[in-house]
Every structure is written in structure tokens, then in C-alpha cells.
Amino acid sequence: MIQLCACASQWGLHPGDENVVKSNAEANGAKTIRLQQMSLEVSGVAMKSVRADDLQVGDILLSGMTSLKSSAIKLATFSEVSHAAVFVGDGRVVEAVGSGVRLYGIEQALSDGETIVAYRRPDMTPELQEKLRSFALGKVGLPYNMLGIAMQAPLSVERKFCEVPGLPGEIRDTCVRIMGSVQMAPTKLDRQQTYFCSELVLETFRAAGLPLVDVPSELVAPSDILHMREGDVSTFMVPRKLAYVGRIVAASEISSARLD
């Protein structure tokens, strides 16, 4: 079925792909079509390993967790990513999981066997970092958005109609907005302040005055954040591409795990 194999595309590199190595064809001036990339790292950008000490407040951490719910998210979005969190300094992240919004240590996540890759907004400033950190920490303890994640699951499949190759980005963006406004309408009845993982990340950046996209946060899945990176094709129109930071490894593994 076409909606299950649909994959957003664009001609050539995005203006924000400063750190992406062009293909031979692109280097010679040829127009090539690019498709969404599903892996945690993106082709054209050298892979590398980093420690938690290398991260900055506001870095977005994307991972592919192994729970049943995470496996269902990866299957629905055709991506290796099922979870998103935001780094708030001191080796800790704020994330929304089934038990609610929590403050969690990166080293603990690594010891649990998670693969975590970090991406960064290049235009982050110390002032914005403090706003972002304050907002994220202020949400710790709030409940998980069970209704929102339940309603987003069918949307992840249905919206593939909007992501067929060759569809211009503006049309793709508008199509998903319209479909999402209908699909996610029941979540508007929930007046509680609740979050699922990617929704929390989007709202954190929006509160800091540095929105990742101009769409309702409940429409955005972890895989959508992944596609906002340099060298990839975003479903939504993004004001600034995310820069690749690296795959996070435990401090004891950095010497043997380095990939670059």
C-alpha cells in the first residue's frame, strides 16, 4: 500500500545543510532527489562518539528504546527512533515516559542498553538555554499524555498519504496539519497539562523562544524531530536544521567506541 511505503522527499540539499558532504552528482551541479533517512545517523555527516560531558543544555537526545510501546512507535513511523528527551546539564535529561515527566541520568540510560544520538540547534544561546532548562525542570512530575500518544499512533500511519515522494514541502506540511487537526481533536478536550516525549521537547523549545517547527506539538513524533536534522528531509517546514552532535557513549567506553 502506498501509504505504508511513502517517504518524504526533496530536490537537493536544504539551505541549512551546511555540514553535509555533497554526493558526487551534487558536487558536479546535478539535481538529485533526497529521501527521508530512517537511521539515527545521517549519510553525508561523519559519525562520531561523544560523552555526556560533551553535551550542552538544550541538546535533543533521540533513541530507539526496546519496550513494546517503543517498538510499535518505530514500526508505525518506519524509523529507528521511538523516544526524545532534552538535556538540561549535569549529565541529566528531562523526558516524558509512561510514569510521567522525570529527571533522568544519561549514564543510567546507557547502562540500560539504550542507543542515544544527540542533535543541537546551532543558534542556541546561554540565555535561551537557561529559559529552556527552567521550563523543562518545571514540568518534572507532571503526568504522561496517554490520550495524546494513543491518538497519534493511527495518525502516524494515515499521514503517509501526505508524504508520497515528489510532493512539495509546503503541501506536505499543510496536508499533515489538516489531517492532524482532525485526528488529534479529542486531545483538545483534555485540559490537564500532560506530555508525551516529543510533545515535551517541542513545548520546551517553544517556551524558550526557539520553536523547532510551527505546528501543534501533539502532531510531532520522535521521528519527525529526527528528520529536522541537516541532510535529512523534514515532513514539516523547519526554520533551522538540527546539527549532529554524535552518538553518546559511557565515559568508560569513549576510547574504544569512537567512530570518527
Q: What is the count of structural domains for the chain?
A: 1
Out of 14-18, 87-91, 196-200, which region has the weakest mean confidence (pLDDT)?
14-18
Q: Taking residues 203-219, what's their average pLDDT? A: 94
**pLDDT score of 168:** 85
**pLDDT score of 22:** 66
Q: Residue 17 falls within a domain, yes or no?
A: no
Q: pLDDT for 88-109, tens place per residue?
A: 999 999 999 999 999 999 988 8
Mean pLDDT over each residue of the chain, to the nearest integer: 82
Residue 160 sits in a domain whose CATH number is 3.90.1720.10
Q: pLDDT for 29-83, tens place per residue?
A: 667 777 777 777 777 677 889 999 999 999 999 987 554 444 444 444 455 788 9
Higher per-residue confidence, 4 vs 173: 173
Q: Residue 119 falls within a domain, yes or no?
A: yes
**pLDDT score of 243:** 93
Domain containing residue 233:
30-254
Q: Taking residues 139-145, what's their average pLDDT? A: 96
Higher per-residue confidence, 208 vs 65: 208
Q: Residue 8 falls within a domain, yes or no?
A: no
Out of 15-19, 118-122, 204-208, which region has the weakest mean confidence (pLDDT)?
15-19
Q: Residue 16 falls within a domain, yes or no?
A: no
**pLDDT score of 181:** 86
Res. 150: pLDDT tops 90: no
SS (H, E, C) the chain: CHHHHCCCEEECCCCCCCCCCCCHHHHCCCCCEEECCCCCCCCCCCCCEECHHHCCCCCEEEECCCCHHHHHHHHHHCCCCCEEEEEEECCEEEEEECCEEEEEEHHHHHHCCCCEEEEECCCCCHHHHHHHHHHHHHCCCCCECHHHHHHHHHHHHHHHHHHCCCCCHHHHHHHHHHHHHHHCHHHHHCCCCCECHHHHHHHHHHHCCCCCCCCCHHHCCHHHHHCCECCCCCCCCCCCCEEEEEEECCHHHHHHHCCC
Q: Residue 217 falls within a domain, yes or no?
A: yes
Q: Residue 5 falls within a domain, yes or no?
A: no
Q: Residue 12 falls within a domain, yes or no?
A: no
Q: Residue 218 falls within a domain, yes or no?
A: yes
Res. 136: pLDDT tops 50: yes
In the chain, the percentage of residues whose pLDDT exceeds 90 is 44
